[in-house]
Amino acid sequence: MAGQILGNREVAGRLWAKMKTDRVVAGQLKGRIKSRIYFLSKIWISVLWPAGLHTVGRLTAFQLAGHHTVGPLVGRPPHGRSFSWPATTRSVL
């Protein structure tokens, strides 16, 4: 019985070595650190991010992209002018 188990392990070991060699030849074998980083990034995205990480909302992202949400409701905003400061030709001071 023990000899049969040992023989099965040897066969399994040779099979694993062949599979590993095939993966190395194909360029698909990842290093230990690289696979660890991949695993941790998957955990971060799937578990930790939805739990407590607050990102920029859609409205804020819309405003950061340069779209104005305050101003005239119809027509296009005047180009080159900001809604918060009036256009002046001379200094106020």
The answer as to whether 33 is a domain residue is yes
Instruction: Say what the pLDDT of residue 48 is.
Output: 59
Number of domains, the chain: 1
Residue 77 has a CB neighbour count (10 Å cut-off) of: 13
Assigned domain for 11 exists: yes
Pick the more confident residue, 63 or 19: 63
Q: What is the DSSP string of the chain?
A: -HHHHHHHHHHHHHHHHHHHHHHHHHT-PPPHHHHHHHHHHHHIIIIIHHHH-----HHHHHHHTT--SSS-SSSPPPTT--SSS---SS---
Does any domain span residue 87?
no
Average pLDDT rounded to a whole number, residues 78-89: 56
Does 58 fall in a domain?
yes
Mean pLDDT score, 54-69: 67
Residue 73 within any structural domain of the chain:
no
26 domain residue, yes or no: yes
pLDDT reading at 91 higher than 70: no
Q: What integer best gives the mean pLDDT of the chain? A: 60
The parent domain of residue 51 ranges over 7-64
Residue 85: φ, ψ to 5°: -125, 130
- Answer yes or no: is pLDDT of 75 > 60: no
Residue range 6-51, pLDDT digits in tens:
455 555 555 555 555 555 555 555 567 777 777 777 766 666 555 5
